Amino acid sequence: MSAKKSQQEACEAYRAAFPPGELEMFRADPIDRVGIPAVAASLRLKTGTQFATHGHGTTPEEAEASALGKLAESVFTETSLRAHARERGTYRELARTRGPSGVVDPLKLCLPAGSPYHADMELTWVTVTRLTTGEKVLLPEEWVATRSGQLQGRTPLISPITHGQGAGLTHEQALTHGLLELFERDGNGLRTRALDQGVVIDLKDAALGPELQSLLAHCERLGIEIIPKLACTDFGLVGLYVVGRDPALRDQPMALTACGEAADLDRERALHRALLEYAGSRTRKAFANGPLELAEKIAPPGYMDRFLPYLELEDEEPRALQAMADWAQLSAAQMRSLMEQRVLAERGRMPFASLPTTPNPGDARQRADVLVRKLTQAGFDILVADMSPTNHSVVSLKVIVPGLEAETMSDHRIGERGVAKLLARQDPLAGLGKPPEGAQRVRLTPEAEERLGGPTWFHSRLAEAIVGRLYALYREPERHTAQLMPRQRRYGGDPS
Same domain flag for 197 and 48: no
- DSSP letters for 185-250: HHHHTTTSGGG---EEEE-TT----HHHHHHHHHHHHTT-EEEEEEEE-GGG-EEEEEEEE-TT--
Domain boundary pick from 83, 101, 136: 83
Same domain flag for 74 and 189: no
Instruction: Name the band, by pLDDT with cuts 50, 70 and 90, for residue 5.
Output: low
Which residue, 461, 415, 417, is CA-closest to 435? 461
Is there a domain that residue 481 lies in? no
Same domain flag for 195 and 336: yes
Same domain flag for 192 and 59: no
* Res. 490: pLDDT tops 90: no
Are 109 and 143 in contact by the 8 Å Cβ rule? The answer is yes
pLDDT tens per residue, range 421-430: 999 999 999 9
CATH of the domain at 24: 3.30.160.20
pTM of the model: 0.95
Question: Which strand (E) or helix (H) includes residue 432?
Answer: strand 430-432
pLDDT tens per residue, range 292-335: 999 999 999 999 999 999 999 999 999 999 999 999 999 999 99
Task: Give the span between the Cα atoms of 211 and 221, in whole angstroms.
Answer: 15
Phi-psi region of 110 (alpha: psi -120 to 50; beta: other; left: phi over 0): left
Same domain flag for 217 and 327: yes
Which residue, 228, 204, 191, is CA-closest to 406? 191
Task: Give the span between the Cα atoms of 166 and 170, in whole angstroms.
Answer: 10
Pairing of strands 440-441, 199-202: unpaired
| Percentage of residues of the chain with pLDDT beyond 70 | 97
The amino acid that residue 135 corresponds to is: E
Domain boundary pick from 20, 50, 83: 83
Cβ within 8 Å of residue 299, ≥6 positions away: 26, 28, 40
Between 267-289 and 210-221, two packed helices, what is the crossing angle to 10 degrees?
40
Are 169 and 395 in contact by the 8 Å Cβ rule? The answer is yes
CATH of the domain at 269: 3.30.160.660
Same domain flag for 74 and 221: no
Task: Give the span between the Cα atoms of 394 and 241, in whole angstroms.
Answer: 29
Count of domains observed in the chain: 2
pLDDT tens per residue, range 25-82: 999 999 999 999 999 999 999 988 999 999 999 999 999 999 999 999 999 999 999 9
How many residues appear in the chain? Answer: 496
Is there a domain that residue 158 lies in? no
For the chain, what is the mean pLDDT? 95
Q: Which domain holds residue 231?
A: 184-362
Is there a domain that residue 139 lies in? no
Same domain flag for 69 and 206: no
What are residue 385's DSSP bridge partners? Answer: 398
- The pLDDT of residue 1: 53
- Burial of 61-74, coded b for 16+ CB within 10 Å and e otherwise, reads bbbbbbbbbbbbbb
Is there a domain that residue 289 lies in? yes
CA dihedral (32, 35, 36, 41) positive or negative = positive
Same domain flag for 352 and 203: yes
Is there a domain that residue 229 lies in? yes
* Res. 493: pLDDT tops 90: no
Question: Is 172 strand, coil or helix?
Answer: helix
Strands, E assignment, 293-390: 348-351, 383-386
- Burial of 403-430, coded b for 16+ CB within 10 Å and e otherwise, reads bbbbbbbbbbbbbbbbbebbbeeeeebb
Radius of gyration for the alpha carbons in the chain, expressed in angstroms and rounded: 22
Is there a domain that residue 237 lies in? yes
Same domain flag for 228 and 357: yes
Domain boundary pick from 61, 83, 105: 83
Task: Give the chain's count of helices (H) and strands (E).
Answer: 16, 17
Average pLDDT estimate for 75-95: 96
Same domain flag for 346 and 235: yes
Task: Give the span between the Cα atoms of 32 and 278, in whole angstroms.
Answer: 12
Cβ within 8 Å of residue 311, ≥6 positions away: 50, 478, 480, 481, 484
- DSSP letters for 25-92: EEE-GGGSTT---EEEEEEEETTS-EEEEEEE-SSHHHHHHHHHHHHHHHHHHHHHHHH---EEEEHH
Which residue, 402, 355, 348, is CA-closest to 239? 355
* Res. 496: pLDDT tops 60: no
pLDDT tens per residue, range 179-215: 999 999 999 999 999 999 999 999 999 999 999 999 9
The amino acid that residue 280 corresponds to is: G
Cβ within 8 Å of residue 254, ≥6 positions away: 285, 286, 289, 290, 327, 328, 335
- The pLDDT of residue 494: 44
Task: Give the span between the Cα atoms of 106 and 116, in whole angstroms.
Answer: 12
Cβ within 8 Å of residue 220, ≥6 positions away: 226
Task: Give the span between the Cα atoms of 126 and 124, in whole angstroms.
Answer: 7
Are 349 and 200 in contact by the 8 Å Cβ rule? The answer is yes
Is there a domain that residue 285 lies in? yes
Is there a domain that residue 354 lies in? yes
- The pLDDT of residue 492: 43
